[in-house]
A and B are shown apart, each in its own frame.
Chain A
Amino acid sequence: MTNRFLTYDRRHYGMDHDRYKWSMLQDRPSVRWPGDKPLALWINISIQHFPLSGSKPTVPPPGALTMPYPDLRHYTLRDYGNRVGIYRLLRALEEVDATFSIAVSGQLGERYPKLMRRLATSDSEWLGHGWNMNCIHAGAVDVDEERHWIKNTKELLTQYSPHPVLGWLSPGRLQTANTPELLAEQGVSFHCDWVNDELPYIFNTHHGAMTCLPSCLELDDVFVLTQNLHSEDSYQQQIIDAADLLIDEARELGAGRLLSLNLHPWLVGQPHRIGVIRDILKALLNARGDAIWNAGPSQIISAAMAS
């Protein structure tokens, strides 16, 4: 092979790209959350539309339809989340007065205005979550098409959201080489896709700096339950283990930590899983309430960046 394989153009201090600066969590100035709580808890609900037809993405997102057209089994099982699961999940969250954000497929703004109006009553922060789950921001997507997805999504959600739509979570946490610039162009001030940290940090684009607030993949319900195939009990245990470890570490180091949970109504809104979510919420918000500041993404970013 040519010596290109032994040539290292970016072998130098820091990262091998310019998106963000290298720094270690434990070496940064300590973050302090309101009330000096050791742990911030960010709960996000991802509300997704998986189209029955249309061109399939080159990188299928978790939960994508898999069968030949018409894949009614997966289409309806995902749609269940928007008809039944979400209401079950909202009830579980509202019962314990949880603060949460929602990331929404833009096309749902057209399809299900009734759901949008109900979501607006919760006073949650809304994030763009792609136009639908076929519109995947990965690889060689045409830049104008990608711009169109982001612009339409932001416009649709803004019609319903009680607050400005400032954040973005890409389907599958994927990005093209253009995604951060396109988000910045549309006035998005933070994305959640690069899960390389536990706290928000500055992310560079050609249009200036934005923030990355990493949305933990490793504890995402779809990742744990449908990709790792772990039991519901293990899922609960992993979340509690993580919370306890982060609370202990935060107290020991005097530095706030963040636990982020991402939930999908089509998965944990099922009757055999919702009880686990209720138990997790109680374990976090009631049993560990003294140690936890439950907040929305923009509140968390403001508090972290002010520290």
Chain B
Amino acid sequence: MSKTELNLYSYWSWEERPRIEWPNGAKLAFWVAPNIEFYELDPPENPFRKSWPHPYPPVPGYSIRDYGNRVGHQRQMALLDKYGIRGSVSLSAALCQHHPEIIAMCVERDWEFFSHGIYNTRYTYGLSEAQERAMIEDAMTTIERATGKRPVGYLAPALSHSEHTIDLFAEAGGLYTCDLFHDDQPTPVITRSGQRFVSVPYSLELNDTIAYVVQRMEPRRYGHIIRRAFDELLREGAEKGTVMCIPTHNYQVGCPHRLRAFEEALEYITDHDDVWVATGSEIAEFYLEHYYDDALAAMKVVE
């Protein structure tokens, strides 16, 4: 039976938020989350969701994603280097086996990794709780072995969830999820075993794949909406402290006709000095240490 609510958080209006002050008095915590993914050419067919729109071999979809790893990744990485941004990588764990060169380049730059499942063609749908636990553990162990650090964040593969996804990830030692889009601040997330666990705002609206593939935006417009979102979140950040994330894909922003528009947005954002350019785990850990307890209490009061 499907539930009407998963009760991961309680209602908390934007008007009632206490002020979060980020390190060095920053008003806005800014992070970039490059998704580095592996899509299989011939995955087993999940009964709940099709992997590819085309019959085997799915040449168009597979090719452009491979292009991202072969060509786009280094182009995007050079750009983030230029603006002093460390990527927080949403990683298909199997990429550690397929393309260790990419992992090495990211490790060398002290980028961090969070788990994005094994493959972006393997969905959570239909897995038993034990199977999902095994998949989550496999991904975390694989990433830990390849990078030296056990990841603390999770974005479920292809945003496919079960009722237990967040509970299972917290039980595996996770600290934060990117799967919830309910807020512009971090918030406590209630898990069944009561771990200290938070949501860190990722974004679907500023996600390059949503912008370019779903909304079919012109590249300059994408750059423009990023700057608009930043202006508003910085203004509100003076009152309450906000988070802004740009989730990217090396096969979208890494294309030569789109990189310039993205660069203009990054140049604009990093030109401000009241911004904390951070990573996903830095934001989660800072919030857990300084604001989590009060937020949890406030959430209980307003409930």
Chain A interfacial positions (CB closer than 8 Å to B): 1, 3-8, 10-17, 22-27, 58-59, 138-140, 172-177, 193-198, 214, 217-219, 227-231, 234, 237-239, 241-242, 244-246, 249, 259
Q: Is B7 an interface residue (CB 8 A)?
A: no
B69 contact set on A, CB distance < 8 A: 24
Q: Is B146 an interface residue (CB 8 A)?
A: no
State whether A245 and B64 are in contact (beta carbons under 8 Å apart), knowing that A3-B131, A5-B44 are contacts in the complex. Answer: no
Set B40, B94, B118, B127: member contacting A1, Cβ < 8 A = B127
Question: In the bound complex, do residue A244 and residue B260 qualify as a contact, i.e. CB atoms below 8 Å apart?
Answer: yes
Binary CB contact string for chain B from 65 to 88 against chain A (1 if under 8 A, 0 otherwise): 011011101110000000000000
Name A259's closest neighbour in chain B (CB-CB): B256
For chain B, the bracket of interface size reads: 35 or more
Name B218's closest neighbour in chain A (CB-CB): A234
Question: In the bound complex, do residue A218 and residue B255 qualify as a contact, i.e. CB atoms below 8 Å apart?
Answer: yes
Question: In the bound complex, do residue A197 and residue B257 qualify as a contact, i.e. CB atoms below 8 Å apart?
Answer: no
Set B73, B220, B255: member contacting A234, Cβ < 8 A = B220
Set B44, B59, B100: member contacting A173, Cβ < 8 A = B59
State whether A11 and B64 are in contact (beta carbons under 8 Å apart), knowing that A1-B126, A25-B70, A25-B74 are contacts in the complex. Answer: no
Chain B interfacial positions (CB closer than 8 Å to A): 38, 40-42, 44, 46-47, 54-57, 59-60, 62-64, 66-67, 69-71, 73-75, 94, 97-102, 118-119, 122, 126-128, 131, 134-135, 138, 216, 218-220, 255-261
A259 contact set on B, CB distance < 8 A: 256
A198 contact set on B, CB distance < 8 A: 67, 71
Question: In the bound complex, do residue B74 and residue A26 qualify as a contact, i.e. CB atoms below 8 Å apart?
Answer: yes
Question: In the bound complex, do residue A245 and residue B67 qualify as a contact, i.e. CB atoms below 8 Å apart?
Answer: no
Determine the distance from Cα of A173 to Cα of B64 in the docked complex, in whole angstroms: 12
State whether A11 and B57 are in contact (beta carbons under 8 Å apart), knowing that A5-B131, A218-B257, A245-B256 are contacts in the complex. Answer: no
Question: In the bound complex, do residue B67 and residue A8 qualify as a contact, i.e. CB atoms below 8 Å apart?
Answer: no
State whether A194 and B70 are in contact (beta carbons under 8 Å apart), knowing that A8-B119, A11-B98 are contacts in the complex. Answer: no
Q: Could you list some 24 contacts between A and B, CB below 8 A?
A: A1-B127, A1-B131, A5-B127, A6-B131, A12-B98, A14-B98, A16-B42, A22-B98, A59-B54, A173-B60, A174-B54, A174-B59, A175-B59, A195-B67, A196-B67, A197-B70, A234-B218, A234-B219, A238-B219, A241-B219, A241-B256, A241-B257, A241-B258, A245-B260
Question: In the bound complex, do residue B101 and residue A138 qualify as a contact, i.e. CB atoms below 8 Å apart?
Answer: no
Question: In the bound complex, do residue A217 and residue B60 qualify as a contact, i.e. CB atoms below 8 Å apart?
Answer: yes
Question: In the bound complex, do residue B135 and residue A12 qualify as a contact, i.e. CB atoms below 8 Å apart?
Answer: no
